[in-house]
């Protein structure tokens, strides 16, 4: 079960007219700050406020008539939940989402707003995969994984298809592309697209401190978890280990993986507010955070970054603006 | 001294490669909420975070070699200040900005950041036009008005050029277009563009309560001020009267002028944060506010709105998010 560039192209056909072709925008202020030409892909403007709608819709659109009856089950801290919930609504499928009891309120409310049934689990004591599997069996529902699925990976890869096409129409050749890595669904899909369309582009994943399992896995040459860590500001990126499908793709394509601290992420969120005028959630801001923190030398180069999501509680956003985070 | 569509086209040539072609974006969530197809023009993503850069750069690019020596002077509560300051920096011109002492901090700091000299005036007691004229005479500098100038109007009109072209490429025909009115520079320029390129589009201006001078002037058939009002949340739209140049253009093109309250504006800012994921300042949110408040029947129609600016102090933004405004 491998995923190919053709799968990404096929996902793009499924998503045509369903997902938003988010723009590729430029900020002269950011260019000046970094001494580079920056191309910003704001998946914050995607349906549900995150790229996750792409993979979820692609996956759900492939269900057989028999599978459609039982609907879908997913577990997620929030963005995948919203993506699956909206895709299920658009495709008229029953949908159960299993969320941690401490998920951001904005993600919980949006998931319910799309008509999904929500059950909670305790992040500390429950096994969410077992809960999802049990709920799936009980309802005859298909469990939709957050990243380790060929259709999910291919759907997220359409972000890369769009970046490559939009950069071409700007006459830009992308030297580097950076995006967040949780389980690796986004960056493995983007790797397939860029590998085919822009093979000279260096690809970097960015992880939050304490959840650098992908960096550790790439160093080790095999899938590894990170040692248990306290929570990260980046609730969307707290995955324990790269996926079975995503890891080999990341291993074959990524030039490197960078790590950012909560403080660097908060600074990037403030920069996005004050200068880019975009709302970005913590996990969505890691690529920007890595560059603002000077983790790569960009002088004279062209770099693309993915701002992957914007679902952040207003209370937390205000604390970040106030510099309390 | 009249302004024509040809002036807008000429401004677009001056601005090519200087201003950002902001995208025209769609939000299925907003479409569903309003029962309409909405096309959103986020001039929040323009250089300096507001459309004002367009008019300012066009104006400053027309200075004669003799005029360039003395540089420019402008008075502004903030967005025009930033537009003039950045345009002056790009064109290597000396620049003095006269700002009210209570201007939003973010606007003051950005104006200084672009290298302009800043002097303050007292909103209650000083005559800012007289101050600007005196400073201009003293320095041999050209006074750059905020809206009542053919090059300023033509520059702002390029927003309309882009909307018309972008809507065409989406296959959309715009039934209505709404944008903010302070002195009327933006909507008079946009009127010239849309009048030429999309004459069937109904154009609406939107003003904040207490500063509905354009509505009163259109009702009276001649320029009128609004009775003295306390401050508005919309610091960018507190102009006392439509301009000599802008008024006849607005009179000939606008279907109507709507008025929104501070509470409606704050609600629109929260909606932009939570659903559109865009930072919008109070004055930039009035068109969205009018539609969310149901001031026009949109059922089944296609409407474009201009989000004109995003320069808002984080403290105020947080108070709005908290529902304290």
List per-residue pLDDT tens for chain B, 325 residues long.
689 999 999 999 999 999 999 999 999 999 999 999 999 999 999 999 999 999 999 999 999 999 999 999 999 878 999 999 999 999 999 999 999 999 889 999 999 999 999 999 998 898 888 999 999 999 999 999 999 999 999 999 999 999 999 999 999 999 999 999 999 999 999 999 999 999 999 999 999 999 999 999 999 999 999 998 889 999 999 988 999 999 999 999 999 999 999 999 999 999 999 999 999 999 999 999 999 999 999 999 999 999 999 999 999 999 999 999 9
C-alpha to C-alpha distance for A41 and A161, rounded to whole angstroms: 12
Question: B25 and A26: CB-CB below 8 Å?
Answer: no
Q: What is the pLDDT of residue A304?
A: 98
The count of C-alpha atoms lying within 13 angstroms of the C-alpha of A298, restricted to the half-sphere facing its C-beta, is 27
Q: Tell me whether residue A277 is one of the annotated catalytic residues.
A: no
Chain A CB contacts of B321 under 8 Å are 314, 317-318
B321 touches chain A (CB under 8 A): yes
What residues of A are in contact with residue B41 (Cβ under 8 Å)? none
Q: Which of residues 300-319 of B touch A (CB under 8 A)?
A: 310, 314-315, 317-318
pLDDT at A259: 98
Interface subset of B 141-200, CB within 8 angstroms of A: none
Contacts A27 to B, Cβ<8 Å = 45
Q: Cβ of A321 and B322 within 8 Å?
A: no
Q: Is the Cβ pair B278, A274 closer than 8 Å?
A: no
Ramachandran bin of A174, using left for φ above 0, alpha for ψ from -120 to 50, beta for the remaining angles? beta
Contact state of B45 with A28 under an 8 Å Cβ cutoff: no
Which A residues 79-108 touch B at CB under 8 Å? 106
Q: Is B45–A277 a contact, with Cβ atoms under 8 angstroms apart?
A: yes
Q: Does B58 touch chain A (CB under 8 A)?
A: no
Q: How many Å lie between the alpha carbon of A214 and the closest alpha carbon of chain B?
A: 29
Which H/E stretch holds residue A302? strand A302-307
Give me the active site residues of B, please.
Answer: 52, 308
Shortest Cα distance, chain A CAs vs residue B83, angstroms: 13
- Contact call for A277 and B44, based on CB within 8 A: yes
Q: Does A28 touch chain B (CB under 8 A)?
A: yes
Helix, strand, or coil here: A114? Answer: coil
Q: Where are the beta strands (DSSP E) in chain B?
A: 37-42, 72-75, 95-100, 117-121, 142-143, 176-180, 202-208, 254-260, 302-307
Chain B residues within an 8 Å CB radius of A26: 20
Q: Does B26 touch chain A (CB under 8 A)?
A: yes
Choosing from A52, A77, A107, A198, the catalytic residue is A52
Nearest CB to A318 within list B106, B280, B321: B321
pTM for the model: 0.97
- Rounded CA-CA distance A47/A50 in Å is 7
Query: What is the pLDDT of chain A when averaged over all its residues?
Result: 96
CB distance from A285 to chain B under 8 Å?
no
Instruction: Report all structural domains of chain A as residue ranges with CATH numbers, in order of start.
Output: 5-50+150-321 (3.40.50.1100), 53-143 (3.40.50.1100)
Q: Of all helices (H) and strands (E), which one includes residue A89? A: helix A79-90
- Which residues in chain B have their CB less than 8 angstroms from residue A279's CB? 273, 277-279
Contact A302, A172 (CB under 8 A): yes
Stretch (H or E) spanning A167: helix A150-169
Pairing label, strands A202-208, B302-307: unpaired
Contacts of A82 in chain B (CB under 8 A): none
First-to-final CA distance of chain B: 42
A294 touches chain B (CB under 8 A): no
Q: How much is the pLDDT for B1?
A: 63
Contact criterion met (CB < 8 Å) for A29 and B20: no
The answer for residues whose C-beta is within 8 angstroms of residue A279's C-beta and 6 or more apart is A44, A272, A273, A310, A312, A317, B273, B277, B278, B279
Using the Cβ of A274 and the Cβ atoms of chain B, whether some distance falls under 8 Å is answered with: yes
Contact A274 B45 (CB under 8 A): no
Q: Does A47 touch chain B (CB under 8 A)?
A: yes
Query: How high is the pLDDT of residue B190?
Result: 98
Q: Are A85 and A116 in contact (CB under 8 A)?
A: yes
Nearest beta carbon to residue A318 from set B26, B274, B318? B318
User: Is A52 one of the annotated active-site residues of the chain?
Assistant: yes
Give the closest residue to A204 by CA, choosing from A225, A180, A223, A236.
Answer: A180
Task: Say if the Cβ atoms of B277 and A28 lie within 8 Å.
Answer: no
Full DSSP string of A27-71: -HHHHHHHTSEEEEEEGGGSGGGBTHHHHHHHHHTT--HHHHHH-
A–B: how many Cβ contacts below 8 A?
Answer: 67
CB–CB of B322 and A314 under 8 A? yes
User: Would you call A200 exposed, middle or buried from its count of C-beta atoms within 10 A (0-12, 13-18, 19+)?
Assistant: exposed
Q: For chain B, what is the radius of gyration of the CA atoms?
A: 18
Of A20, A274, A277, the CB nearest to B278: A277
Contact list, A23 vs chain B (CB under 8 Å): 23, 25
Contact: B273, A28; criterion CB under 8 Å: no
pLDDT tens digits, residue range B55-74? 999 999 999 999 999 999 99
Q: How many CB atoms lie within 10 A of CB A139?
A: 15
CB contact, 8 Å: B137 with chain A? no
Closest residue of chain B to A281, computed from CA coordinates: B277
Question: Tell me, what's the pLDDT at A167?
Answer: 98
A314/B273 CB distance under 8 A = yes
How many residues are listed for chain B in this entry?
325
- Partners of B273 on chain A (C-beta within 8 Å) are 279, 314, 317
B126 touches chain A (CB under 8 A): no
Question: Please, how many CA atoms are within 13 Å of residue B274, restricted to the half-sphere of its CB?
Answer: 21
CA B18/CA B57 separation, integer angstroms: 8
Strands lying side by side in the sheet with B95-100: B117-121, B95-100, B72-75, B142-143
* 3-state class (DSSP) for residue A132: helix
The mean pLDDT values, 10 residues at a time, for chain A of 325 residues are 93 98 97 97 98 98 96 92 97 95 90 94 88 92 96 98 98 98 98 98 97 97 92 92 97 98 98 98 98 96 98 97 96
């Amino acid at each position: 079960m491998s995923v190919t560039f053709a799968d990404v192209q096929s996902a793009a056909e499924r998503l045509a007219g369903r997902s938003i072709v988010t723009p590729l925008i430029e900020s002269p202020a950011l260019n000046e700050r970094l001494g580079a030409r920056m191309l910003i892909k704001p998946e914050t403007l995607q349906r549900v406020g995150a790229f996750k709608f792409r993979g979820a819709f692609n996956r759900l659109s492939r269900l057989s008539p028999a599978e459609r009856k039982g609907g879908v089950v997913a577990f997620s801290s929030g963005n995948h939940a919203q993506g699956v919930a909206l895709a299920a609504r658009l495709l008229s499928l029953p949908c159960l989402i299993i969320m941690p009891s401490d998920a951001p309120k904005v993600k919980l409310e949006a998931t319910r707003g799309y008509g999904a049934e929500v059950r909670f689990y305790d992040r500390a004591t429950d096994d969410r995969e077992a809960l999802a599997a049990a709920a799936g069996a009980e309802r005859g529902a298909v469990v939709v994984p957050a990243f380790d699925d060929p259709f999910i990976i291919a759907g997220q890869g359409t972000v890369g298809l769009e970046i490559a096409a939009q950069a071409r129409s700007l006459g830009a050749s992308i030297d580097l592309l950076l995006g967040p890595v949780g389980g690796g669904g986004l960056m493995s899909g983007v790797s397939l697209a860029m590998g085919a369309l822009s093979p000279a582009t260096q690809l970097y994943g960015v992880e939050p401190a304490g959840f650098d399992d992908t960096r550790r896995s790439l160093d080790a040459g095999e899938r590894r978890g990170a040692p248990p860590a306290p929570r990260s500001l980046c609730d969307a990126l707290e995955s324990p280990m790269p996926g079975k499908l995503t890891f080999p793709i990341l291993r074959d394509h990524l030039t490197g993986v960078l790590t950012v601290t909560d403080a660097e992420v908060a600074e990037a969120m403030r920069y996005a507010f004050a200068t880019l005028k975009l709302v970005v959630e913590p996990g969505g801001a890691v690529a920007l955070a890595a560059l603002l923190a000077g983790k790569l030398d960009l002088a004279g180069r062209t770099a693309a970054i993915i701002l992957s999501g914007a679902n952040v509680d207003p209370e937390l956003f205000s604390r970040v603006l106030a510099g309390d985070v």
